[in-house]
A and B are shown apart, each in its own frame.
Chain A
Amino acid sequence: MLLFRSEENVSAWCRERSLPRQPLVTLDQLWHLALTWYENRLTVESRRPAASEMVSIFASIGLTGPFWDPNADAWASTG
């Protein structure tokens, strides 16, 4: 995932690569994800969230739909 100054820059980046523009994430949403994934990473208990947990975490900050589902068949079948 990449950082951009503006939505216009995202669109230009996608256009240059003939890639679809995917949902955008705000800095606040990303900070929430960073905390959820990593705030106990230096401890013995740390682990990556399970797929079902990931769906809940994403949904809690408004990121929903198959793009944010690690088990989404529509993506996995071509991945």
Chain B
Amino acid sequence: MDLDDTVKLEIYGRLALSGTAPTATDVAHALALAPDEVTAAFARLHQRRLLVPEPGDPSRIRMAPPFSGVETPFRVQAGGTTYFANCVWDALGIPAALHRDAAVDARDGHTGEPMRLEVKHGAAVPTPCVIHFAVPAARWWTDIVYT
């Protein structure tokens, strides 16, 4: 396994366990690496679209999809841990990645009405809702934070 995959597994393992994204310093300490090596791995993982560093601070993680490194309007509860997702797709992506049941608390994009989605026994529980993609696939990574 190469360095980037090792860093990737450390990031995702920590996120799955705690819901909190590690910094490059955290990952470096865990893997006995130099922080600069880890920050460089963050950049390469970004090129592979597996991670988005925090704008202005390449040693911090804004997104490791489906997980968010910051609080968002998409809160996911699974296995007693709280996670934040980048969007409604990623909110379902967290139980998919964890292979766990989950409850997603979000809000209607127009009215702000609280909405809950649930995943039980490996499937999304039918809920009256629709999902709107405002940005076409060709532009998703033009501004992934907006998307």
Contact = CB atoms under 8 A, between A and B. Distances in A.
Contacts of B89: 1, 30, 33-34, 37
Interface residues of B: mostly helix, strand, loop or mixed? mixed
B133 A9 contact: no
B92 A34 contact: yes
Interface in A14-44: 14, 16, 19, 21-31, 33-35, 37-39, 41-42, 44
Contacts of A68: 136-137
Interface of B: 1, 5, 8-9, 12-13, 16, 48-50, 65-66, 87-90, 92-99, 106-111, 113, 115, 117, 119, 123-124, 126-140, 142, 147
Contacts of A56: none
B49 A48 contact: yes
A27 B138 contact: no
A1 B88 contact: yes
Contact of A31 (B1, B13, B124, B138): B124
A21 B8 CA distance: 36
Given A13-B110, A33-B89, A75-B136, A6 B128 contact: yes
Interface of A: 1-7, 9-10, 12-14, 16, 19, 21-31, 33-35, 37-39, 41-42, 44, 46-48, 54, 58, 66-72, 75-76, 79
Given A13-B132, A48-B48, A39 B96 contact: yes
Given A1-B87, A48-B49, A70-B137, A38 B129 contact: no
A24 B131 CA distance: 6
Contacts of B96: 31, 34-35, 37-39, 41
